[in-house]
Structure 1
Amino acid sequence: MLWGAAQGGALELRQDENGGARLRGRFPYNAEAILGDGPGGRRIEVIAARAFAARIEAGEEIHLLSGHDYQKPLASTTAGTLTLRDGETGLELEARIDPGTTWARDFLEAHRAGLIRGLSPGFRVTPDGERIEARGGDLRRTITAANLFELSAVTRPAYSDAQIEARNWTPGEHSPESGLMRALNRWRA
């Protein structure tokens, strides 16, 4: 499983009248992320438009998780609590999060405190679903087709601009480095 996030992504969390929350977000396509920068050059990743379309259009189960942990589900397409809309410029999501579990309450509180601001997808690249090109001293990986299994709210996404933002409708175990290490270790040459 690979993890990443896209530059320019944003999540918005709104509390509903029943104590739950609605989460909205957008994962933009065609944004560059620098996953590594060293003496041999940079490793750049781009997720192409509609790279995740196959499983979404097939109605496959996709989860919203806390920190890529399947033991901490927040919503899913099959439960009817996660809706995904795939387009040419990005993947949009809307989720209803019920605070009935300890991890959902922990996520909601950490988000309100400003500790969780990132969005990161978990996916597997399909055969022939990527292009790797050398450009100068850099390697550029473009993912054109991948099976999306989950999206996660994380503390530090591989793509720094994938941020979340909280707003209320009514007033009222991963270390930061682990996401980066997963991103750097996922490359195939």
Structure 2
Amino acid sequence: MATEQRLAISYCRISTKVKGKSVEESVGYQQQEINNYAKQKGLELIREFSDVGYSGKNTDRPELKEMVEYLRYTELKIEELIIYSIDRFGRDLQHNIKQMLVISNLVKVSFVTFPISSEADSFKFMFLLRTGVAQDERERLLMRCASGRSNKILNRKSFDGNYYPLGLIKEEDSETLISTSPSKIVDLQQE
């Protein structure tokens, strides 16, 4: 008697689009780990969903939406949704909680890099904790990047981008940036 293959789907996300690389190449390392996990657990991966170029803070990701709709309406018996890591699922605490409540009512959810599934007693606690860490990491990364850009601009004493760093303005008739003061700022709302 042949055993019926257990079916699974996967979800990957990466926030940057690499010029000249396909979606598969951009999330290839995630998908490879997911494939290994599925094989190890005896699951047949029948569909892959990947959002490339979407921040984890972005709650309007087309493949994530399509995946939820697929889970709601497919006639196939999907056993498991496999995701590389919680931060690849998303980096917005409120959105992650809402989405995971919907998804985990439809299918078992497992994460590869932090081996926990929605069937574990501690899943909600660990998911909440790891999502909070993911959101905090995102905010810290943004602050480090902004600080790095600001320091680079201050060291060069000129600016060639679109947005001035906070607290700096462009000197009239020059590319030089200077520190600002309340007397030098025009309130755009009062114009």
TM-score (normalizing by structure 1) = 0.29
Which has the larger share of strand?
Answer: 1
TM-score (normalizing by structure 2) = 0.29
Which has the larger share of helix?
Answer: 2
Structure of greater relative contact order (alpha carbons < 8 Å, 6+ residues apart): 1
